[in-house]
Amino acid sequence: MAIAPNSAEARDIAYHIHGQTDLKAHEEKGPKIISKGDGVRVYDEEGNEFIEGLAGLWSVSLGFTEQRLVDAATKQLETLPYYHTFAHKVAPPVIDLAEKLVGIAPGGLTKAVFQNSGSEAVDTAIKFVWYYHNAIDKPEKKKIIARVNAYHGTGVASASLTGLARMHAAFDLPVTDRVLRTDCPHYYRFGEDGESEEDFATRCADNLEKLILDEGPDTVAAFIAEPIMGAGGVLVPAATYFDKVQAVLKKYDILFIADEVICGFARTGEMWGSQTFGLKPDLLTCAKALSSSYLPISAVLVSEKVYEAIRDKSGELGGFGHGYTYSGHPVPAAVALETLKIYEERDIVQQVKNVAPAMQDGLRAFADHPLVGEVRGVGLIGGVEVVADKATKAPFEAADKVGPTIQGLAEKNGLLIRAMGDSIGFCPPLIIDRATIGDMLGRFAKTLDDALAWAEGEKLI
């Protein structure tokens, strides 16, 4: 379809750079303009309806028309539209939000510091880790271990921790020799022939320990992990993986950062992914569903031992040289606080537990489809990996663009999902009901059949 001169599509091409987009192709294709939301659905400029199967970007937990969040923002804008947190200043909703967050946090996390995005939260956590080790007189303990296929953001530091080649190419990333890389705990892809899932987890933990010993434990500061690896393909950790990894971290006095930017706030069927998988982090990053993404806000939750060391060092230095203009912005804080109240009042954790089986069982029903290699997920997050050969698990060539083609076919069928390579992610708003899950799965079933016909026509299988 030709793009009309001076149309919104043409002006977008002329003036706007899109993230995570093929910019060359965008100049030919143009944007899909989403102009309205209603519950778990969104609508484009032509009025076409879509089920938002990824909650925007893993994030619009309460759907697109939660009036209480609009009212919370409006009220705060009318009362105090901005203030900062520097030099002992703070707005009331920031205090309330910090208290509420710490109250629902995994055990041992006692303080909150606010930022504007998940990437900023991860960057802040990295800075806190380095500051902490300087404060306790271990200045050589600075390396941070992240995992292959991890996603931790797009900042210079957070993208350096990210373990996806597409996030590094042409950006000269990673930028620091303080980043180390260890195994991805995806049993389907990396388990060896005859190796049990538990034995695979043991191998991952043993490799982690070897890496630490090779580098020198006195140089390794922290390990960072998503409970479920989101943008890497919705990768659920192998059974016993986190138990074994945490034992290694404890043995060598290495801090654990849980990146809960996607998993936090009931997504996995508990308030935190850390609770689902038995994690005991020293720092925790969260964002996205913290405000149902109605306004940008993120947080780092910090353990008391980390906070006390940072506090004492800042006293020595006469101040803590960290903060953002919008740290603890009162308007996003008010919206986030209302979001947490809604989670509690409506028992969103139980809501997820009630409807998650419909999605998980429904997705697993696709396991017999000729294109599907593995289905995985927990709670209201899931992934379907397509393969060229089910028996050998052989993937398609990246140049075949099978995943992006499936994403495009889904859009034609009224379903917005996300292809991460050839893994298709599902992460609908937490308010979704069983009937809508059935509708979503029906649209995906048609999409898979359309994709199979296309792949056969292209002689890809």
Residue 6 binned pLDDT confidence (cut-offs 50, 70, 90): very high
> What does the pLDDT read at residue 219?
98
Calculate the CA 461 to chain-centre distance. Answer: 32
Contact of 330 with 83, CB cutoff 8 Å: yes
> What does the pLDDT read at residue 397?
96
Strands annotated E in 63-219:
109-115, 143-147, 179-182
pLDDT at 177 exceeding the cut of 90: no
Separation CA 97–CA 116 (nearest Å): 14
Interval 236-264: pLDDT, tens: 999 999 999 999 999 999 999 999 999 99
- What's the token pair of residue 55? 């909650």
Contact of 339 with 299, CB cutoff 8 Å: no
Topology match between the domains 32-65+347-457 and 68-345: no
Interval 298-347: pLDDT, tens: 999 999 999 999 999 999 999 999 999 999 999 999 999 999 999 999 99
CB atoms within 10 A of CB 34: 16
Lowest mean pLDDT among 68-77, 175-184, 209-218: 175-184
> What does the pLDDT read at residue 269?
98
Contact of 418 with 425, CB cutoff 8 Å: yes
Separation CA 175–CA 396 (nearest Å): 31
Q: Where are the domains of the chain?
A: 32-65+347-457, 68-345
Q: 0.85 cut: is pTM over it?
A: yes
Interval 394-429: pLDDT, tens: 999 999 999 999 999 999 999 999 999 999 999 999
- What's the token pair of residue 318? 């006469």
Average pLDDT over residues 428-456: 98
> What does the pLDDT read at residue 199?
98
pLDDT at 1 exceeding the cut of 70: no
Quick one: which of 232, 184, 260 has its CA closest to 419?
232
Averaged pLDDT score across all residues of the chain? 97
Separation CA 3–CA 26 (nearest Å): 12
Per DSSP, the three-state class of 228 is coil
Residue 216 binned pLDDT confidence (cut-offs 50, 70, 90): very high
Separation CA 102–CA 99 (nearest Å): 5
The CATH number of the structural domain formed by 68-345 is 3.40.640.10
- What's the token pair of residue 98? 């910090």
Residue 386 φ then ψ, to 5°: -95, 150
pLDDT at 443 exceeding the cut of 70: yes
Question: What order do you get walking across the sheet with 255-259 strand by strand?
Answer: 109-115, 298-303, 283-286, 255-259, 220-225, 143-147, 179-182
Quick one: which of 340, 319, 339, 333 has its CA closest to 113?
333
Contact of 46 with 9, CB cutoff 8 Å: no
CATH fold for domain 32-65+347-457: Aspartate Aminotransferase, domain 1 (3.90.1150)
Beta bridge partners of 109: 303
Q: State the maximum Cα–Cα separation within the chain, in Å, rounded to a whole number.
A: 69
Separation CA 15–CA 11 (nearest Å): 6
Which residue matches tokens 């203009």? 325
Contact of 223 with 245, CB cutoff 8 Å: yes
Residue type, 56: G
Average pLDDT over residues 207-224: 98
Q: Write the DSSP symbol of residue 192.
A: P
- What's the token pair of residue 407? 């994403």
- What's the token pair of residue 220? 């390794």
> What does the pLDDT read at residue 277?
98
Separation CA 235–CA 375 (nearest Å): 10
